[in-house]
Amino acid sequence: MLIDPFIVVAQVINFLILVALLKRFLYKPITQAMSARSQRIERQLAGAASKEQDAEAEKELYLQKQRELESEKQEWLESAKQSIIEEKEELTQAAIAEVSLMRSQWYKDFERDRHQLTHEIRDRLSQQISSATRKALSDLANADLEGQIVETLINRLYNLDDSQLNAIRAAPVPNPHHVITIYSFFTISSNQKESLVAAIHEQIASSAEIHFEIKENLICGIELRDRGYKISWNVENYLRELEASTMRFSKQKGI
C-alpha cells in the first residue's frame, strides 16, 4: 500500500489544527472553569471552616456563660440559704427576747399584785384585830375600870418632870379665862372630878377653869388639853402599837 505524503502531512496539519482549536476553545475554558470551581469550593470550605470556628467559639462562649450562670446560681442559693438561716436566727432570738420580756413583766405584775393583796390582807387583819379589841374594851368598860383610868391620869399629873411642868406653866393663856379641858370616853363621877381638879390646880394652874367633855373615840381613855399641851392615857395608843407590831411582824415573815 502506498502512503501519500501529502495526505499524511495534511492529516498531521489537520490534527495539529484540531489540537490547537481544542486547546483554544475547549481545554482552556474547561481548565479555567475547573480552576474557578476549585477556588470557589476552596472559598466555601474556608468559609465553612471559619463558620465552624465561629460556631465552636460561640458554643464555648455559651458553655462559659452557662457555667458562670450555674456558679452564680449556686452562690445565690448559698447566699439566700445563709440569709434565711440568719433571718430565722434573728426572728428566733427576737421571739425568745419578747417571750422573756413578757414573762419577766408577768412575774413583776404577779409579784406586785401578790404584795398588794398581801398588804391589803395584812392591813385589814390588823384593822380587824384593832377594831375587835376596841369593841371588846368598850363593852367591858365599867366603873372600876373608869376609876382606874382617872387615877392613872392623876398619877401622871403628879409625876410630871420639872421641864414638862415649867413648859406648861409658862405657856401663855390665849383667852381671858384660863380653861383646861378634860376629854373622856365615859362620864366621870363627882368624886373623881374633884380629885382631878385638885391635882390640876396643884400641879398646873390654881385659877384655871376645868371643863369636862365626852369624846367617844377615846377608847377607855382620858385626855387633858391645855394651851397646846396634852396629857393622856388611852387604850387607843396601845392598840396602835399592837397594830404597828402586827404589821412589822407580817413584813418580817413576808406575809
pLDDT in tens, 178-219: 888 999 888 888 888 898 889 888 888 888 888 899 887 776
pTM value is 0.41
pLDDT at 212: 92
Question: By three-state DSSP, how is residue 219 classified?
Answer: coil
pLDDT at 80: 80
pLDDT in tens, 15-39: 778 777 777 776 777 777 778 888 8
Mean pLDDT by 10 residues, the chain (255 residues): 70 78 72 79 80 80 83 82 83 83 82 73 60 57 72 87 84 80 86 89 86 80 85 69 63 57
Q: Cβ neighbours of residue 185 under 8 Å, at least 6 residues apart? A: 138, 141, 214, 215, 216, 217, 218, 219, 220, 221, 222
Q: What domains lie within the chain, and their CATH numbers?
A: 141-235 (3.40.30)
Tell me the three cell numbers of residue 15.
490534527
Could you count the other beta carbons within 10 Å of the beta carbon of residue 156?
A: 16
